[in-house]
Amino acid sequence: MTRDYRKGMQFLADARERLDMVAKKLKLDSGLVDKLKFPKRALIVSVPVKMDNGRLKVFTGYRVQHNLDRGPGKGGIRYHPEVTLEEVTTLAMLMTWKCAVVNIPFGGAKGGIYCNPREMSLKELEGLTRRFTYEIMMMIGPEKDIPAPDVYTNPQTMSWMMDTYSMHQGFSVPGVVTGKPVDLGGSKGRLDATGRGVMFATREGLKHLGLSLKGATVAIQGFGNVGSASARLLREAGAKIIAVSDISGGLFDPEGIDIPSLIAYIKKSKDKLLKGFKGPKFVSNPKRANEKLFSLKVDVLIPAALENQITSENAHRIRARMITEAANGPITPRADKILAKKKVFVIPDILANAGGVVVSYFEWVQDTQALFWKEKEVNTKLEEIMTEAFYDVLRTSKKHRVDMRMAAYMLAVSRVAEATRLRGIYP
């Protein structure tokens, strides 16, 4: 495996550029801005794993805490062959803003391991997870930093993390991670939470544009947990999903894809990919599929894969009326400017995909209190928070005459800056 470190470095540079722009709007002190630009702490660990063939392989893992002024760190763990320290650092910063924009008492953190989980067995993944948990144990805990699932990690991953941490404490500590199975203290509604939040944000965005979610045409890039949940929930709300893509290619059907059948097919398939699904037109070249998907004339485009997908090179081909960022950082700053000129309404990632961290907060609260909620209560509370956050950002946008991304950042950064001001600098 080889990594392109330039992508992570550019991702971090873009995030800091956005912070500079927001700081200028808010007239923040330069010293405070510097504090917000850099993480509180970052840990790099070696993760030795005995592979199934008997050989020892050493992986590199990361955990970064960006800012803890508003509460414990919160952020996912991703397993991916392109993970770098710069990427994880940027995602930790985005988590800080995400928690602040929906006004929950967490700071931003993120973790990752440089690996290719698709080439590893379940036993190897368990060994990787348990050793990584041990190596970062000094940083995590219910009062310090609470990991969650992210790209190529899931409730089983969180179960291993929770068990490893608990074994070293001598008692069960369900609150050390979120996104766990319900049987281990997970919250009902957590698995669909990010996708449900995307649906709520999309619904309110369309309402703002004078459109209805019912009958709206939608294209989704990425069909993992977030992309598939978003597709299913949007379809249930009456939207028509006419295109989806993943690393195997893309499916296209102007009459609407049968999302329930597609999800059932993927669950049964060995590789969990779109290829092989019968019915809609399939474009097997992933690059060509994404190019076609991005250029479709739809009401809503949802990038739900990785960062830096919509750039200055392809933004001019976007014909969607609205973009809901289900992924973290899918649009570059230069692309943002192009989309603004095209009058594309963009719901930024730190707002649009915050449903997952909101329900992670609910899970943490339930674990702490040892009192669990019904799924309807979880979903109702999520809808309230996401809707309130959307209109908080929209009001900020109108008041300061800025786009939704700048408004979301202004709201989030001002809340973190105020917390820092009130706490002061120790010593």
d(CA 223, CA 245): 6
Q: Which tokens is 83 given?
A: 């993970």
Give the DSSP H or E segment for 301: strand 300-303
CA end-to-end distance (rounded Å), the chain = 44
Q: Which tokens is 75 given?
A: 């952020």
Burial of 97 by CB count in 10 Å (0-12 exposed, 13-18 middle, 19+ buried)?
A: buried
Catalytic residues: 110
Burial of 387 by CB count in 10 Å (0-12 exposed, 13-18 middle, 19+ buried)?
A: middle
Q: Which tokens is 316 given?
A: 């001019």
Q: Are 45 and 61 in contact (CB under 8 A)?
A: yes
d(CA 100, CA 10): 24
d(CA 329, CA 345): 16
List Cβ neighbours of 301 (8 Å cut-off, separation of 6 or more): 218, 219, 221, 293, 294, 318, 320, 322, 323, 324
Ranges of beta strands (E only) in 16-140 are 41-50, 56-67, 73-80, 107-114
Q: Are 176 and 165 in contact (CB under 8 A)?
A: yes
d(CA 424, CA 338): 39
d(CA 65, CA 223): 28
